[in-house]
Amino acid sequence: MNNRKPRRDSDVILSNYNQKELLFKFLIIGDYGVGKTAIVRRYTEGKFSSNYKITIGADFAIKSLDWDPHTKINLQLWDIAGHERFGYMTRVYYKYAVAAALVFDISRVATFQSVKKWLTDLREKVTLPDGSSIPIVLLANKCDIQHVAIPTDQIIKFCKENKISKWYVTSAKDNKNIDEAVHYLVENVLKAKIEDEIKDSIKLRTAPITTEKSGCCKL
């Protein structure tokens, strides 16, 4: 038997009122062929294809998350072309991004060697409104392939030296750790946002109280 009371209209209105909707722009960057498009497709559509179709310029996909009963998040995943022929042209797409996944192919050393270049460029060009750097995860993709060209300790060392707080071995093909990586980024953006809101409320509260009088009676 269902004991739940039917919801009243006012409950529905109230719950809509309490819900906030956020829009986050995430970047997916890294060398060509590392699997950025495959990762985005896996995450947003749950599909994988072994055909390689080069991304031209940039592409984006959207996914909505019911994060908690009060928060809906619309994620915009910006899949940036990795081929160097697009070079710095693609950096215009970095604007307003709040997080990034930096991808390399675990079976191709050259793609790991490029990570530093992508990272430097990203940090140079994107910061949060308060000037701090955006949350970043490093993804060692294609872990389903047997040939692992980059030892784990090298990845750990790189992350430590470059202040990347989280990395994952992923596979777009086997759907490994992709949800987890995005989840980690969302959590960190929310944390930064909440801290921002707290900072703002402190700023508001500590603003000097002016007792200036107006009009002709000003002393």
Ligand X SMILES: Nc1nc2c(ncn2[C@@H]2O[C@H](COP(=O)(O)OP(=O)(O)OP(=O)(O)O)[C@@H](O)[C@H]2O)c(=O)[nH]1
Give SS3 for 72: strand
From 68, 123, 135, select the one nearest 98 (Cα to Cα). Answer: 135
Residue 188 binding ligand X, by CB under 6 A: no
> Strands 71-80 and 58-68, how do they pair?
antiparallel
Work out how close the CB of 186 gets to ligand X at its nearest, in angstroms, rounded to a whole number: 21
As beta bridge partners, residue 166 has 137
Taking CB under 5 A as the rule, does residue 111 contact Mg ion?
no
2 to 41, contacts with ligand X by CB under 6 A? 32-38
From 2, 10, 16, 50, residue interacting with ligand X (rule: CB under 6 A): 50
Cβ atoms of 117 and 160 closer than 8 Å: no
Q: Do the strands 136-141 and 71-80 form a parallel or antiparallel pair, or are they unpaired?
A: unpaired
Neighbour count for residue 147 (Cβ, 10 Å): 8
Candidate list 30, 55, 134, 155; residue touching Mg ion; CB under 5 A: 55
Asked if residue 109 lies in contact with residue 140, where contact means CB atoms within 8 angstroms, the answer is: no
Q: Is 188 in the site for Mg ion (CB under 5 A)?
A: no
Backbone dihedral angles phi then psi of residue 128, each to the nearest 5 degrees: -75, 165
Helices 36-45 and 178-206 pack at an angle, to 10 degrees, of 80
The distance of closest approach from Cβ of residue 99 to ligand X in the complex, given in angstroms and rounded to an integer, is 18
Choosing from 20, 70, 83, 117, the residue that interacts with ligand X (CB under 6 A) is 83
Closer to ligand X by Cβ: residue 58 or 98: 58
Smallest distance from Mg ion to CB 59, Å: 7
**Which one, 73 or 97, has the nearer CB to ligand X?**
97
Question: Out of Mg ion, ligand X, none, which partner does residue 145 contact, by CB within 5 to 8 A per kind?
Answer: ligand X
Q: Which is nearer to ligand X, 181 or 192 (CB)?
A: 181
| Residues at the interface with ligand X (CB under 6 A) | 32-38, 49-52, 54-55, 81-83, 141-142, 144-145, 171-173
